[in-house]
Amino acid sequence: MMIISRQKDQIIHVSDRGDVAGLLADNENLIWIDIDRPTEDDLKWLSDTFGFHDLALEDVAKQRQRAKVETFDDHFFIVAHGVKPGQQRVLDIIELYLFVGANYLVSIRQEPFLPLDDLLKNRSESRYLRRGPDFLLYAILDMAVDTYFPAMERLDESIDKMDRKVLERPTKDDIERILAVKKQLVFMRKHISPQRDVINALISRDFPVISGETVIYFRDIYDHLMRLYDDIDFSRDQLTSQLDIYLSQVSNNLNDVMKRLTVFASIFMPITFLTGFFGMNFGYIQDRSPIWWLVITAFITVVAYGNYWWFKKRDWL
């Protein structure tokens, strides 16, 4: 647990959480409490000190919550999502739980969140704390949303590579890759859609903690989410087109194989007809009349080559 307090123009790191109750009594102070992997004792302390609702704390304990915003008497509760940096194939979603009051913000996560850790380590939180809890909330939500962009860029690169491969030489593995990426896009959209509703609520509804100046910044986050939403829809359309191209290519390849087999069958069909119609016995003909054997063999060769040349001329081979 890390506790940071702004007292007048000073930023102080509080080492004893027992001092928090006294700091909250002065409305001029601003407190930011960040908790990584909260214990039952931490949740009980939050309930006793801030009076957070049991249902909100239950959401924190159970995890796997949908992005949402809930309003209580003197504070509001937000569930937000971000993407764990560095994920190459499977998206790993990180949940952030935020309690925002008139002079405090409590951020809770169940695992390290690199952007938030960097914010704490670099001590750059001071410029956010000096603007108030609403601007600090904006900074945290903005960092969470920004983690989606690198993940989206990696998915776009994968889609572009598959696009070229499907056009050049499709294989059975391509359809599995297409469906896997499509599943990740659906997964990302599942988390972005409710988060967009959360930001829209912060913009459109009247939250006393959020000033009119900070609403503009939340609109910027909303624009980022709309951009991500549009990118996901565009990428899904690309994958649908790739799937159609793959099925078309497979069908074309099958048609080519069937065409070649049909051509070769057509070449041998007149030969089979000639030999079958006359009931030829090559051993008998060769012994009784070698000349006729040579004539028939030459005639059959000419017929076969003539059929081959005709099919080749029409570009059926």
Amino acid 198: pLDDT: 93
Where do the domains of the chain lie? Answer: 2-248, 260-313
Amino acid, single-letter form, for residue 135? F
Amino acid 223: pLDDT: 95
Residue by residue, pLDDT tens for the chain (317 residues) are 888 887 777 777 788 888 888 888 888 888 888 898 899 999 999 998 898 989 999 999 988 889 999 998 889 999 999 888 765 556 788 899 999 998 899 999 988 787 777 777 665 455 677 788 899 899 899 989 998 998 888 888 888 888 877 777 777 788 888 888 888 888 889 999 999 999 999 998 888 888 888 899 999 999 999 999 999 999 888 888 888 888 887 777 777 777 777 777 777 777 777 666 556 655 555 556 667 667 777 877 887 788 777 777 777 66
Homologous superfamily of the 2-248 domain (CATH): CorA soluble domain-like (3.30.460.20)
Amino acid, single-letter form, for residue 251? S
The neighbour count for residue 316, using CB atoms within 10 Å, is 12
Tokens linked to 81:
């999502």
Which whole-number Å values give the CA distances from 267 to 278, 282, 296, in the listed order?
Answer: 19, 20, 16
- Rounded to two decimals, what is the model's pTM? 0.77
Q: Which of 246, 245, 238 is nearest to 157 (CA)?
A: 238
Spatial contact of 240 and 176, defined as CB atoms under 8 Å apart: no
Q: How far is CA 216 from the centre of its chain?
A: 28
